[in-house]
Amino acid sequence: MSEPNHARRFGAIWVVASLIATPLVIVLLGPILPPGKASEQASGQVTDNTVLLGMATPVLLLVVLYMIYAVIYFRQPKGAVLEGPAIRGNARLQTTWIVITSVMVLTLAVYGSVRLLADNGAGSGSGPTPLTTPSGPKLPVQVIAQQWAFTYRYPTYGGVEVPHLVLPNNRMIELHVTSLDVIHSFWARQLGVKADANPQVDNIAFVKPTKVQTFEVRCAELCGIWHGEMFDTGRVVTPAAFNAWIRQAQVAYAPATKELPPYSKTYQPEPARRGG
């Protein structure tokens, strides 16, 4: 019994399946991928996730289809238990494999780097001196992590500090994320923002909300016994509502603002402050 050309046959099955499945995945799953489209950065992440999923689909199909193919065509025949023939290297296959996987990994590395640069960090914490900064005016907001809550300071509004994050819609926000004690991580999922909050570090992340809505804030770095309690609901409001809110907050928190240390990029961690 002559063996069919398995490589060619399986290759054809895989190519056809990939050509059908990849566009379906991109069109049907792409629009519902996280984190949604609540900010420019979040929308960019949806695009990136769609690209990654599109690239991963043929890889997944290769593995799954080959398993099914092998189960059907490379079964142990009934009766005698036979050893498969030993395969001692196949230069063409090995070279193809190394080239294809290297190209994929390098493509992803280039794509990821370009997207991070093009989108000013794509919502990630980019350190105290980001490589790129969005042009135009930006509203600075400081995120101060501490065991076990986030508070928010608005340096352009008298350094007022509030317990819940409120942001104006359609404005570029420059988040300055820092910590007063241990390491935390500021994660506003729907906005596509995640930035480490380290003591003595001014970690900058840019985000431009594009939708009036509420969003979750969570700590994404195990930071002690009440880490799980470290969440908050933030709000994106219209610019007019933001102006009204911040004016009220400045009045309401005026006595507390007087007691605060002056606005600074970072603050001394508590023990050092206590130690003088």
Query: Which of 141, 117, 129 has its CA nearest to residue 44?
Result: 117
Spatial separation of the C-alpha atoms in residues 143 and 25, rounded to whole Å: 37
Minimum Å gap between C-beta 200 and Cu ion is: 16
The smaller minimum CB distance to Cu ion, of residues 187 and 242, is found at: 187
**Separation of alpha carbons 261 and 276, rounded Å:** 14
Task: Please tell me the number of Cα atoms within 13 Å of 208 on its side-chain side.
Answer: 17
CA–CA gap between residue 242 and residue 245 (Å, rounded): 5
Which candidate, 41, 39, 50, places its Cα nearest to that of 126?
41
Specify the length of the chain in residues.
276
Nearer Cβ to Cu ion, position 176 or 184?
184
Q: Which is nearer to Cu ion, 230 or 249 (CB)?
A: 230
**Rounded least distance, CB 274 to Cu ion, Å:** 20
Instruction: Identify the burial level of 236 via C-beta atoms within 10 angstroms of its C-beta, where 0-12 means exposed, 13-18 middle and 19 or more buried.
Output: buried
Q: Which is nearer to Cu ion, 73 or 226 (CB)?
A: 226
Measured from the CB atom, the residue of 177 and 219 that comes closer to Cu ion is: 219
Under rule CB under 5 A, residue 194 binds Cu ion: no
Cβ of residue 12: shortest distance to Cu ion, in angstroms? 53
* Shortest distance (Å) from residue 177 CB to Cu ion: 12
Residues 215-234 as x/- pattern, contact with Cu ion by CB under 5 A: ----x---x------x----
By three-state DSSP, how is residue 160 classified? strand
Backbone angles phi, psi at 175, to 5 degrees: -85, 135
Cβ 77 to Cu ion shortest distance, Å: 60
In whole angstroms, the minimum distance from the beta carbon of 109 to Cu ion comes to 30
Binding mask 174-193 for Cu ion (x = CB under 5 A): ----------x---------
Query: Residue 184 or 208: which CB sits closer to Cu ion?
Result: 184
Q: Which residues bind Cu ion (CB under 5 A)?
A: 184, 219, 223, 230
